[in-house]
Amino acid sequence: MNPISFHLQMDDPRLAALSEADDRMGALISLIGEIKTATQGPHFAALARSIISQQISVKAAATIRGRVLELAGDLSPDALSAVNDEALRGAGLSASKVAYLRDLSGKVQSGEIILERLHEKSDDAVIQALTSIKGIGRWTAEMFLIFGLGRENVVSVGDAGLQRAAKWLYDLEERVDRKYLQQVMDLWSPYGSIASLYLWEAINIGHVDSGQTLSELLYK
């Protein structure tokens, strides 16, 4: 299937539905405006990049990905399988990440997981399939649902950034359990992914950490 991306323009009926259901989300959408996400490209490469990037900086991840690509020529199961563990370790991958990439490659090559047919499955079934791969947890699977499959109603409650942005947007009281999304996310159905994109963008452009409330930003 073709690579998926979101291109949310202000006349999009999904934005109108979100705005009607939730005044604060509607105000945030008006403040931020149009959003367009980049396509992830081939599913295997996207998952391999996720594994490589775990728990390291964006800069370090980009450097290591570049080295792995130089060795393999491509982020595909066959190409990675042709590179030995020592070379991958030399590129900067930990032993555990090499093992994770081997598991991903092996499950795809054996047909245990058919990435090209994941779009036929429910969200829960996709998460179950992907989390059976070593090194891929629920958060990575949820990001794949949004950015790889274009699913519109995914809210990753384990995402610390989303929780922080929700606390800011709705001016919620501090909680020890940090469950801010759970208080408001039902308002966004069936467009939880789209609401999430606007919360992430509110962080990216500095609104969440500006020290200003949504109202102050709207009327300054």
pLDDT confidence bin for 1, thresholds 50/70/90: low
Closest CA to 165 of 193, 144, 195: 195
Question: Span 128-155, mean pLDDT?
Answer: 97
For the stretch 45-91, pLDDT in tens is 999 999 999 999 999 999 999 999 999 999 999 999 999 999 999 99
Tally the domains of the chain: 2
Domain boundary among 109, 140, 171: 140
CATH number at residue 212: 1.10.1670.40
- Determine the pLDDT at residue 78: 97
Would 92 be classed as within a structural domain? Answer: yes
Contact 47, 80 (CB under 8 A): no
- Evaluate if residue 192 carries a pLDDT over 90: yes
pLDDT confidence bin for 41, thresholds 50/70/90: confident
- Determine the pLDDT at residue 3: 60
166/211 same-domain check: yes
51/117 same-domain check: yes
pLDDT confidence bin for 2, thresholds 50/70/90: low
Q: Counting beta carbons within 10 angstroms of the beta carbon of residue 144, is it exposed (0 to 12), middle (13 to 18) or buried (19 or more)?
A: buried
How far is 50 from 140, CA to CA, in rounded Å? 7
pLDDT confidence bin for 39, thresholds 50/70/90: confident
pLDDT confidence bin for 113, thresholds 50/70/90: very high
- Evaluate if residue 115 carries a pLDDT over 70: yes
Would 108 be classed as within a structural domain? Answer: yes
Percent of the chain residues topping a pLDDT of 70: 98
- The torsion of the CA quartet 87, 92, 93, 94, rounded to 10 degrees, works out to 110
How far is 212 from 190, CA to CA, in rounded Å? 29
158/133 same-domain check: no
pLDDT confidence bin for 162, thresholds 50/70/90: very high
CATH number at residue 85: 1.10.340.30
135/165 same-domain check: no
Domain boundary among 110, 140, 170: 140
State the amino acid at position 51 in one-letter form: I
Would 193 be classed as within a structural domain? Answer: yes
- Determine the pLDDT at residue 5: 85
pTM: 0.93
Percent of the chain residues topping a pLDDT of 90: 94
Would 149 be classed as within a structural domain? Answer: no
105/158 same-domain check: no
**Which domain does 12 fall in, by range?**
7-38+154-219
47/33 same-domain check: no
Would 107 be classed as within a structural domain? Answer: yes
How far is 166 from 138, CA to CA, in rounded Å? 20
62/113 same-domain check: yes
